[in-house]
Chains A and B, each alone.
Chain A
């Protein structure tokens, strides 16, 4: 295990360590609960910065509960509430102490039902806004068109939204618990189905976590293929994003074009790996099978690239489209950092972070992407960053495919008992982390997933409060988050 340092801390040391981390330009990533010898411990994942190893701070949960860090590091707020809901860890002095993921009342928490004695039920509270003329709109969970299920509550007067509260986790499937007891090889298909449109990124982060625990690296050819497929996943997702954004601004031909290009990207992906949403390809140690590049693949990719560039150019001169994006859903840099924004969303708020460059994996050390940034933090900036990433992915793919040398695609990967590993990937929506803990027989004891949509849904309401109804759908589309990835 070399991807992270594991430190054992006392709960009282955590605030000071967080302070140090932030001063040195680092950022907290998440906190989750795990169990060691019948005791529950909280595991904080800290990211000191580009090129520096990650740190896992393991903290025994004190009797009576864990002091909340959410007031200092707001992005930890949701993780702490999730620990309370799913692991029965009491969190003290939380600024938003109510249930987040499941409402279990006084039932035992699903993760550590046997050892949980306090249960720490969280009250079900929704923020209320009262006043003359304030109206309340509950939207969802079933929405028009083909959408994922989620419920959204607006308190508003006329066009003006006073307060916005998304009620997510209706789709919570308990995926993390599903990993428990599986052998790592069998669990890849599960990781792929945490968020179907991020299947490759999730499988990659999971496989790399297992490889980290085993202390091995996938062979070069497998690493190049992993990057190729990861960029193919980015292509179809970003093209989908542009089509959806064009639809939100009622640009119908623009919508059709984005969706057609997305379809072509999916068909190309299937031709190379057998699945339109690249599933069933990865395995700890490399790939499940060697892949062959169809002879006309590069030519088709070239056509898709020129059509995509033409599409981006056309969007960029369409004033009716751009007018709806400028100043919509503004996310200031500090809020993006504090609340945990990730991926294109944080880069559009001028946070210069990309795991492919900062902590290279797969073949990104040899083939680093150009990281696009924008300062405005609005829907326009988010669209521009994704457009630039789309262009960069085509460039990257050409380099990668030119370096696809023959060789093995699988290295032996024996996972030691009682080990820990960390893996990550920069998915189309931002950073994915997997921490894996194995048990005495080398099976999975605990798998924690940090998914990008969980991070960005936490951020999103800060761009909605105080704005207007008319811009809501465009703003939501400009984030491009999934609900499955958030709810897990």
Chain B
């Protein structure tokens, strides 16, 4: 064993400083982000992106006619359904949909994942935020997570397991995975929630002591993802258990997961409000 101790020591420090440090520290160089809707109006009769979207994350919305009385429409985008497959960006003829490098898009409400060209984002509810932060401060220094796979493709697990590697080294932030739901503060759910996994998921949630939180990780857990509403079940956590943090993506990368966990603890800022990223 002494050999391995030396081996490890000789390796030096491998951990990133993320969320501190520059973009390099996140380790996500080159990673595609979520698409952005850049302009409000699209070419008449074009719905190429809506047809191309495999998860119905996009829909056409009619906009009020302008002075020339020509009817117009725009595109609404639900990041809670988006799997960032980039198909909409590829088929968009007018450049309305653009690729981005935005991936740290965890939010505290489902509504914040929904972009609508007409609706301005709701103003922040200061009282709710203050209350959430007050609760969050109780866990400020430590968070214990019980993960439940409720029907994933294993992509989310692969990225969750990566949090424990020396690069992200989640423990340095005081965040740990725990075996027992009775010792957990947060239930972190991945997968579309298949019929046979509903009861075990519910049992894990009920076994957790109050106060408890739930995080829906990935498009599957938020909305059902690619496997939604099939014969095998699956529309995510909707109407099943209350969710405190939504993390869109497919699969969300480890830095994005850390951002969402820290958001829950009041230790990071939410970037997405009403479907609009503040960069």
Contacts and interface: CB of A to CB of B under 8 A. Distances in A.
A147 B204 CA distance: 15
Interface string A237-265: 00010010000000101101101101110
Given A186-B52, A189-B87, A484 B165 contact: no
A148 B179 contact: no
Contact of B200 (A141, A254, A482): A141
Contact of A262 (B155, B165, B227): B165
A190 B226 contact: yes
B4 A251 contact: yes
A177 B197 contact: no
Contacts of B156: 196
Interface stretch (B7-15, B60-68, B264-272): B7-15
A196 B155 CA distance: 4
B180 to A, nearest CB: 8
B25 to A, nearest CB: 12
Interface stretch (B72-80, B135-143, B146-154): B146-154
A288 interface: yes
Interface stretch (A166-174, A344-352, A359-367, A384-392): A166-174
Contacts of B196: 141, 169-170, 172
B232 interface: yes
Chain B interface: which size bin?
Answer: 35 or more
Contact of A173 (B4, B85, B151, B168): B151
Given A257-B7, A257-B11, A314-B7, A171 B166 contact: no
A178 interface: yes
Contacts of B167: 260, 263-264
A443 interface: no
A259 B162 CA distance: 7
B253 interface: yes
Given A189-B83, A195-B154, A318-B4, A142 B54 contact: no
B232 A172 contact: yes
A175 B234 CA distance: 12
Contacts of B14: 260
B197 A170 contact: yes
A263 B149 CA distance: 21
B153 A110 contact: no
B250 interface: yes
B230 A274 contact: no
A243 B158 CA distance: 13
A267 interface: yes
Nearest to B147: A146
Given A141-B197, A170-B196, A259 B164 contact: yes
B107 interface: no
Size class of the contact patch on chain A: 35 or more
Given A149-B150, A260-B166, A171 B4 contact: no
Interface stretch (A48-56, A276-284, A432-440): A276-284
Contact of B30 (A145, A146, A274): A274
Contact of B29 (A149, A271, A320, A485): A271
B32 A280 contact: yes
Contact of A144 (B4, B8, B179, B251): B179
Given A148-B149, A193-B155, A253-B7, A288 B227 contact: no
A485 B253 contact: no
Contacts of A240: 158, 161
B27 interface: yes
Interface in A110-147: 110, 141-142, 144-147
Interface in A364-394: none
Given A142-B204, A314-B3, A171 B149 contact: yes
Nearest to B154: A484
A194 B230 CA distance: 14
A197 interface: yes
B28 interface: yes
Interface in B109-152: 146-152
Given A173-B232, A174-B227, A485-B154, 5 more contacts: A171-B152, A186-B87, A193-B83, A193-B225, A294-B30
Which 9 residue pairs spanning A and B have beta carbons closest together?
Answer: A196-B155, A144-B179, A259-B165, A173-B227, A174-B232, A484-B154, A110-B231, A196-B153, A271-B30
Interface of B: 1, 3-5, 7-8, 11, 14, 27-32, 52, 54, 83-87, 90, 146-162, 164-168, 177, 179, 191-192, 194, 196-197, 200, 204, 225-227, 230-232, 234, 250-251, 253
